[in-house]
Every structure is written in structure tokens, then in C-alpha cells.
Amino acid sequence: MANTRKATRIGIMTGGGDCPGLNAVIRVVTRAAIHQLGIEVIGIEDGFLGLIRNRMRHLTSDDVSNILTVGGTILGTSNRADPVRFAIGKDASGMPIFEDVTPRVLEHVAERGLDGVVCIGGDGTMTGAAALIKRGLPCIGVPKTIDNDMLHTEITFGFTTAVQTATECIDRIHSTASSHHRVMLVELMGRNAGWLTLHAGLASGCDILLIPEIPYDLDAVCEACERRSKRGKRFTLIAVSEGAAPKGGHQTVEKIVHDSPDPIRLGGVSTVLAAQISERTHLETRATILGHVQRGGTPVAFDRVLATRFGFKAIELVAEGAWNQLVVQQNGHTSTVPIESVAGRQRTVPLDDPLIAMARAVGTAVGD
């Protein structure tokens, strides 16, 4: 969507789960907008919640100094606020009551004089942005997620840092697995996509990789552990995605957050599997859930550069009046697609992905 009217003031927000590299985007968008385009930048606090509650603040070049290497987001974030379906209270049974508060958001945008909003986030944030676009709020999307599951982009910033962090953690568990002769399961994030587990598992030399795209056979997993034991390999290292599920079974749900746009929170599959493997094989088995350590910390150099590239492209779109686009990387080059084309969708690992073939080639089991 092109808008010939020159933007004079834009908002910027970070939504969904945090990840390394968010501050790098905030930095380049703010500085390029101010110094190159003469545009004012308004920081929206805590994602869509800031638009709903009118929590915004003016950003200067000094405000974004020295944040390139800082993890998380200086603006804060939220994964519970959806303007179209916002929890305003609870009914008699304790369940949330939802209301469409988009008109309130548009009032706040008009009050602040925003010509559009740069939305940094994953598929959930882009789903929210797509809804606001339909109500007349111009948006530009910048893709972030450690899950790497955004459609139409080869990579998202935050992913590479998460892979590095997860790999280092698995390396440490590798040494204790060897010392104690145990089957060690390491549970990684990723929701319904196995990219993080696949990359970190291969990088750390795991013996078994379990991802959501390939339902696992418990018998096959146990046989792989016993086969290693019989060959004199006195430990087995298993990387398992939180979204992995057995053949004919269901994903392991840790809890349901009823007032969230994405209420189902996966987790605990490694604990379930550890008990099953121990019972069947009589091998000492332990499970470690990495959890939010995968989201934190300083972004690696690759993510800092990628986030800066994406953020700079977003400002170029603002300058062109090319709103309602998502910045993506395709064939190694920065490009764009309509935000609505990624709303409510996820990019999962295809079964013919070369990394799966590589895993099999080096003798790594994938649970089937």
C-alpha cells in the first residue's frame, strides 16, 4: 500500500516473546528516521498493550545509544494483548471477558499523531498488525522470533543467537551425560516448528533429534538408546522440541493461558519422555528444559547485522510510503511481502529439508 503523504511521526513497538536483536532494530529505525528523514519516533511500550493503554514516549537518538549489544527490548513487550480480542475482566466462572478495543487504539494513534507503526514481532504480532491495517492503521512489519517460523522469510533475527545459546547449553549437558552414563534429554523451544532443535541438535552432535514435523515412535527412540548402550556408548543425548509429539498422540501442554491470543503453552515433553525411556530401557535418564535462557543475552554479530538490515529496510519503506509490508529475506536478499500474507501462519521444517537428510547421514536418529 503506497501513501503519497510524507510521514512526519511514526510509532515503533515490539510484540510477543522477546529475543536478541530487538534493540538493534529500535536503534536503526529511530536514528535513521530522525537523521535521514526528519521523522519523529514514538516508542510504544509493551507491544499492543501500549497502544491499548496509550503508554507511549518520545524517542531521541540518545535514547537508543548503547543498546545494540543489549538483549531484550527497551520498550518492553507483551504476548497477551490483542486489540481485537482484549481481556477486560472475568465472568462469574472466572473466565476472561473479551472486547474489541480497536477503536480505542485508533483514538490513541490519532491523539499521538502517528502516521503509522513499525511492528517488530512474530506471526502473532503480524496477525494483530493485519487486523489494525484493515481498520485503517498503516503498519510495517519486521520479523523476529527465535523459532524461525515466519512464513516467506528464510531467517528471522534472534534465531541464530538462540541456536548458539542452545548449542552451548547442550555441549555442557553432553559432558555430564558422558560422565554419568545417562540418557539426557534437552527440551528446546520452537512451538510447532523444529528449526531451533534441528540446528542446535546438529551443531552439538546429539544422537537423537525429535521435532514436531516428524511424530516420534517411542519404541524407535528406546531402541536407539539401547543400541548405543550395546555398542559401548554409555550415554545418549536427545534434543527434543517442546512441540514434539508421539505418533498418533498429542503435544504436551504445560498450561493454558485463557486471556492470551495464543492460549496453549507447550512444554514438558522431555519430562514425559524421560520417564517412559527409563521405564522401558532401565537406563538412567534425565531431562533438562532450557526454557527462557534461549531468549536472553547479547545477540551474536550475525543477528545484530540482520536486525539492522531489517530495520533499515523498514525505514526505506516509510520513506517510500510503502506501508503494510513485512520485511523478509529471500534468496539472501532483503525483500518485502504483504503483512496479511503471514498473519496466522507458521513456517515449519519440510520433511525434505537437507538438514534432516544430513542428520540421518551421520547416524542421528529422528524418532521415526
Instruction: Say which residues have a Cβ less than 8 Å from residue 23's Cβ, sequence separation at least 6.
Output: 64, 67, 68, 70, 71, 72, 73, 74
Q: Contact, 194 vs 227, CB < 8 A?
A: no
Which residue numbers are catalytic?
Answer: 147
Q: What are phi and psi of 185, to 5 degrees?
A: -105, 135
